[in-house]
Amino acid sequence: MRSCLPSIAVLSILSSRLFAGPITVDGHWTDWGIQPGGGDWSSSTGQRIFYEDYTGSDGGAYVGPGWGGQYFDVEAIYAQRAGQDLYFAIVTGFDPDGVIYLGSPYTPGDIFLNAGNGWNVGIDLETGHVFTGATSTNPADFPASAPFTIAGGTDIGATALSVPFDGSPLVYGSGNQTSTHFFFEGYLDLTRIGGADGPVGIHWTMSCGNDVGRGYIGYVEPPAVPEPGTLGLLGIGSLAAAVVHRRRQRSGRP
């Protein structure tokens, strides 16, 4: 017979997944509380772990370590973490469908994580598949912006990822080129890659490596959620202690 109540195990899984209720991997940045018009891409949910926004209007300007202005600008990376639950988001002026610049094509890289052993966890930007022990390619022009794309590793299956391929950029402000942005958003259960009790890095760049985004989020203790079974035991425990205390009082013992 099916029980009407889910088991404790199911409840604890649900509670660990529900901690970040405000974040939905849907390609929209409103749940992060991002206010691009505020000027510094700050967020009210999670942490902005990388910020380097080129704000000029020159399409060929220096973004560091290369050039290309807003078309190549990696602007901000966000993360929200509780224990092994990691949400992340990237804002960039680089179109994930690719950019043709001065007649040359440029393509977006995959997302890489460093869970304490180097940038060896890759998330395929197109499929969302996660690779452990990932090897990688370098960007063509600025190898220091590596890693670029996943070259090999163990495919452990897909995770939630939203990238606006064939999509419209999110636009705010005056509508000129500096107001055009693309928003990537994803989630990973870190236990799938062996877990991480220390900081986790998030990295992204494009085929030339003209700009790169990289930031770290530390371990954040997940909120304590008492399980119904534990509550019951605590109640019984307090009752037993009270009984013992009263007996001791009556017998005059300490």
Q: What is the binding site for Ca ion (CB under 5 A)? A: 24, 26, 28, 31, 52-54, 63, 70, 73-75, 211
Going from the C-alpha of 98 to that of each of 31, 164, 181, the distances in angstroms are 27, 11, 13
Alpha-carbon distance of 243 to 228, in angstroms, equals 23
Question: Which tokens in the block code for residue 79?
Answer: 């993360």
Rounded to a whole number of angstroms, the minimum distance from the CB of residue 25 to Ca ion is: 6
Query: Closest CB to Ca ion among 52 and 155?
Result: 52
Rounded to a whole number of angstroms, the minimum distance from the CB of residue 123 to Ca ion is: 16
Query: Closest CB to Ca ion among 70 and 114?
Result: 70
Alpha-carbon distance of 246 to 248, in angstroms, equals 5
CA angle, 35 as apex, 34 and 36 as ends, to 5°? 105
* Closest CA relative to residue 115, chosen from 138, 132, 127, 91: 132
Query: Closest CB to Ca ion among 124 and 211?
Result: 211
Rounded to a whole number of angstroms, the minimum distance from the CB of residue 24 to Ca ion is: 5
Query: Closest CB to Ca ion among 52 and 189?
Result: 52
Q: Among all residues, whose Cβ is closest to Ca ion?
A: 52
Query: Closest CB to Ca ion among 134 and 212?
Result: 212
β partners of residue 65: 211
Rounded to a whole number of angstroms, the minimum distance from the CB of residue 28 to Ca ion is: 5
Rounded to a whole number of angstroms, the minimum distance from the CB of residue 10 to Ca ion is: 25
Q: Is the distance from CB of 166 to CB of 195 less than 8 angstroms?
A: no
